[in-house]
Amino acid sequence: MPEHAHGDSVALLAPLSGELLITCADRQENVASGVVVLLDRGERVRLTNETNETASALAVFAPAGSVRALSSWPAADRAAVTAPGLSVG
């Protein structure tokens, strides 16, 4: 998923399967099932799957308004959200 921010929302990201590389500012961390990541308001983040396994994650936003912003992403970036090997729901 390309670099983005969640506006006024705090996000909780919980990988369900596979492994995700989370990049925030100048730090990177591989996370897998059993880990929950808290992303603060306005924090820019990028998610990548650098493995051959499909990765899935549960994302929870509060307040939920930032999710509507995904529809304004360019088509190529929206396609990356559902690219093979990465599913976000």
Q: What confidence tens digit (pLDDT) does each residue in 44-74 have?
A: 889 999 999 989 898 888 887 666 666 665 6
What CATH class has 10-80? mainly beta
Around 59, how many Cα atoms within 13 Å sit in the side-chain half-sphere?
20
Task: Specify the pLDDT at position 63.
Answer: 83
Residue spans of the domains in the chain: they are 10-80
Average pLDDT, the chain: 79
Quote the pTM value.
0.69
Integer Cα distance of 69 and 50 in angstroms: 26
Q: What is the pLDDT of residue 70?
A: 60
Q: What pLDDT, on a 0 to 100 scale, did the predictor assign at position 68?
A: 62
Structure tokens at 1: 């998923």
What per-residue confidence (pLDDT) applies to 16? 93
| Helix ranges restricted to H, 1-89 | 75-81
| Contact call for residues 64 and 12 (beta carbons, < 8 A) | no
Report the alpha-carbon distance of residue 13 to residue 86 in Å, rounded.
14
